[in-house]
Amino acid sequence: MKKSKRILALIGAILLVCLYGSTLIFAFVDHSASSGLLKASIAATILLPVLMYAYTLVYWLSQKNHHDDPGQDD
């Protein structure tokens, strides 16, 4: 389980670095489509960490509730 968490965290970090890079590139490129791509990249840069945090929080809370339930036999 720890190995899969590390792999997912690495994928998330790589994705964020790619988003930051694409945001920088789209900010300097003067093309008709770059404005829309820049807005999408900025939105994804903000939303991705928020969604990752929400997923982690829900997972943590579900695991905490699962282990605290005395009626469950694992």
Question: How does pLDDT run across 11-42, given as a tens digit for each residue?
Answer: 888 988 888 888 788 778 777 777 787 788 78
> Please, are residues 43 and 28 in contact by the beta-carbon 8 Å criterion?
no
Does the pLDDT value for residue 55 go beyond 80? yes
User: What local confidence, expressed as pLDDT, does residue 38 receive?
Assistant: 78
> Please, are residues 49 and 16 in contact by the beta-carbon 8 Å criterion?
yes
Q: Please, which pLDDT band fits residue 4 given cuts at 50, 70 and 90?
A: confident
Does the pLDDT value for residue 49 go beyond 60? yes
Give 72's DSSP letter.
-
Give 37's DSSP letter.
H
Distance of CA 71 to the CA centre of its chain: 34
Q: Which residues contact 20 (CB under 8 A, 6 or more apart)?
A: 45
User: What local confidence, expressed as pLDDT, does residue 70 receive?
Assistant: 60
Q: Domain boundaries in the chain?
A: 2-68
Distance of CA 31 to the CA centre of its chain: 28
